Copies of this chain bind each other. A is one copy, B any other.
């Protein structure tokens, strides 16, 4: 599998980051061009996005004839793109997205993209909290998980997805879209909501000393609250069932910690030590 001419649809943080990383890919990846199309009609792509690509496409339809098409826009827009343009992607092309919710995307690919196109769901699990192309840091892709969620029995699509992932130095991980959504609801989507909730709690303290007391703990706990609100709202909504379940699980866990706190520091330390071990275990088995 060679990637040939690649068109990236969407010049936000993810599209820009991928364009930068793909242009630095080794020759073995067989990339001959990286073109970008930006979703905002009438607005030129940002400077970092323009510099990231070999070429900027004028119309979204220009992307449909490329060897590889990477759709890097918010989840609802991905689904809309598949519905409106999925049938027009050229036969034999690789079609992959980067959305943070995969079941809705894979379903739309199965429905709107003909089997002659090698379609597969994709999700590079890396990024910064700085929205837009200025937040693009291609070095974060090195060693990061790149989830591939198959649409139909299509080995070429899987090979294409792996080729994209390997070209940017990420670690391809193949799995069912529903499993991706179940896990990501808890490892990523819930943390976005937690950061937003904590932001609200801290904003409501209303004491003039608050800003002076923000340390490194607060910093990392609210990091995700700076993400692009529209993008986050769209993947939370596209994964609403799992996200609502995850909120319930978090509330249970908080309730358990509250009980432990009421029982006294020995019991609380036990529960906290258990959480620490859980984190070390999952981290170590990566």
Q: Are B201 and A184 in contact (CB under 8 A)?
A: no
Chain A window 206-222, contacts with chain B (Cβ cutoff 8 Å), 1 for yes, 0 for no: 01011111111110111
Chain B residue numbers with a CB within 8 Å of A1 are none
Q: Are B224 and A221 in contact (CB under 8 A)?
A: yes
Query: Which chain A residues numbered 184 to 229 have a C-beta less than 8 Å away from chain B?
Result: 184, 186-188, 190-205, 207, 209-218, 220-227, 229
How far is it, in angstroms, between the C-alpha of A166 and the C-alpha of B195 when the chains are bound?
32
Q: Nearest Cβ in chain B — how far from A81, in angstroms? A: 16
Q: Are A196 and B257 in contact (CB under 8 A)?
A: yes
Tallying the copies of this chain within the complex gives: 2
Query: Which chain A residues numbered 14 to 65 have a C-beta less than 8 Å away from chain B?
Result: none
Q: Are A240 and B261 in contact (CB under 8 A)?
A: yes
Contact among B194, B216, B230 for A221, CB-based, below 8 A: B194
Chain B residue numbers with a CB within 8 Å of A229 are 269-270, 272-273, 276
How far is it, in angstroms, between the C-alpha of A192 and the C-alpha of B220 when the chains are bound?
11
Q: Nearest Cβ in chain B — how far from A101, in angstroms? A: 11
Q: Are A201 and B276 in contact (CB under 8 A)?
A: no
How far is it, in angstroms, between the C-alpha of A281 and the C-alpha of B203 when the chains are bound?
9
Q: Are B196 and A194 in contact (CB under 8 A)?
A: no
